[in-house]
Structure 1
Amino acid sequence: MKNTISISIFLVLIFISSCNEQKGKLEKSVIEQAEETQEDKFYLNCKKKSINGIEFKACIKRPGNFTIINSDKKLVYEHEDNPAEFEFSDFNGDGFSDILLDYFTNVPGIKELLIFNPEKNDFERIVGFTNFPSAIKIKGTDFYYSYHRSGCADNNWDSDLFKIIDNKAIRFGNIKGIGCGIDNENGIYINKVNGQKLEQIKFTPREEGYWDGKWEFIEKYWTKNHNKFE
């Protein structure tokens, strides 16, 4: 009889202890959720992404900066200028998600690029990337090309060939389209780039006006000829 009572008391104590433990966890969870809610009221937009086995949370905060923290709540990146929007995207095709930051500008397609570093498990800003709007990677290569309007209702335009080297966007080539100039200036100029110097290697005249076939021309030219600019 005494053994039965002792066992019953022991089981009751275990039950009470378990209830207290669950209550403590619940209270802790409620407190943490309240703290997170209090903190998140300043965030306009937050997105989470699991990369290399680690969850990252990127947020636009006003007032404040654009920030990225990991699952240990460690700040791994901070950007003073808040973007209008951002997205996780494997821009360089290495299998890890990067981050593209969008801004309100007069030139469509201007973005900041943050490349994920899988060795450090953090993000690194690519210097000079904003010089290459609407950038597209050439499949199977380390090259990218961009496009931007250069005036006259998009009759004048530029496309630059570039690489990302040591976290810098470096220009190697340029295609300049002019369709709004003096008659003998209208055409397609293809240039090799050496630092800030342009060396014209080809000129093809064309008629004045908007050229809707330029998109296909740009893609095909850079895809076929990018190695000539190294």
Structure 2
Amino acid sequence: MEKSVIEQAEETQEDKFYLNCKKKSINGIEFKACIKRPGNFTIINSDKKLVYEHEDNPAEFEFSDFNGDGFSDILLDYFTNVPGIKELLIFNPEKNDFERIVGFTNFPSAIKIKGTDFYYSYHRSGCADNNWDSDLFKIIDNKAIRFGNIKGIGCGIDNENGIYINKVNGQKLEQIKFTPREEGYWDGKWEFIEKYWTKNHNKFE
């Protein structure tokens, strides 16, 4: 069946103002998320109701079940100097809408620890990635809350080279372990971070 002139005009108008749109069926409802040009990032449901609007347009976005609850969430990617920085919109199956997680951009390249409510992140902290940080966090009441920190120093100036492990309470850091290391880049940090947080996350609650 051919589309009417009105339908064709509507699609042409939409193409003019939308840079990137994706659809996803979640909890029996189809959602359409769009990067608008010009305008805001928006999500509408199959009833054409606006369920979320975001002022800053991302460079890209994806549907992904980030928190592992069986419902697709949305990760928004931005062009920044720090790799892996994203905004997170968690799907609320009771309200059938999306809720922004406050503070999530503080935790780049975040990964969920399987079977837990914990996540950990990674970001460079200078000196050509010889200095770095990994933070342990949870999502509580739509806020990303930090519980622990691993700081790697391989280019020590103000601090001795090594691995610093800290408990976090608000803005307060309590060092619980220090392991000296030689100066320079450490290839084994990725495996160390994953294994340490997976094994020890419960010690930081």
1:28: Cα distance to partner?
A: 7.3
- Residue by residue, what CA displacement relative to the aligned partner does 1:184-205 show, whole Å, maximum 9, x if unpaired? 7000000000100000000000
- Residue by residue, what CA displacement relative to the aligned partner does 1:59-80 show, whole Å, maximum 9, x if unpaired? 0011100000001100000000
Q: Do the aligned partners of 1:183 and 1:208 also contact (CA within 8 Å) in 2?
A: no
1:31: Cα distance to partner?
A: 2.1
1:146: Cα distance to partner?
A: 0.0
1:34: Cα distance to partner?
A: 2.5
Aligned length: 205
Q: Do the aligned partners of 2:153 and 2:159 also contact (CA within 8 Å) in 1?
A: no
What TM-score does the superposition give when structure 2 sets the normalisation length?
A: 0.97
Structure-to-structure mapping, 1:74-153, within 5 angstroms: 74-153=49-128
What TM-score does the superposition give when structure 1 sets the normalisation length?
A: 0.86
What SS does structure 2 have at the residue aligned with 1:133? coil
Identity %: 100
What SS does structure 2 have at the residue aligned with 1:222? helix
What SS does structure 2 have at the residue aligned with 1:28? coil
- Residue by residue, what CA displacement relative to the aligned partner does 1:192-219 show, whole Å, maximum 9, x if unpaired? 0010000000000000000000000000
What SS does structure 1 have at the residue aligned with 2:3? helix
Q: Does 1:61 align with 2:36?
A: yes
Unpaired runs of at least 5, structure 2: none
Counterpart CA distance in 1 for 2:149 and 2:35 is 34
- Residue by residue, what CA displacement relative to the aligned partner does 1:31-89 show, whole Å, maximum 9, x if unpaired? 23431331232111000000000000000011100000001100000000000000000
Counterpart CA distance in 1 for 2:76 and 2:164 is 31
Counterpart CA distance in 2 for 1:57 and 1:29 is 22
1:138: Cα distance to partner?
A: 0.1
Counterpart CA distance in 2 for 1:149 and 1:216 is 16
1:29: Cα distance to partner?
A: 4.8
Counterpart CA distance in 1 for 2:181 and 2:159 is 9
RMSD: 1.4
Counterpart CA distance in 2 for 1:27 and 1:154 is 57
Which has a greater percent of helix? 1
Counterpart CA distance in 2 for 1:135 and 1:63 is 30
1:169: Cα distance to partner?
A: 0.1
1:151: Cα distance to partner?
A: 0.1
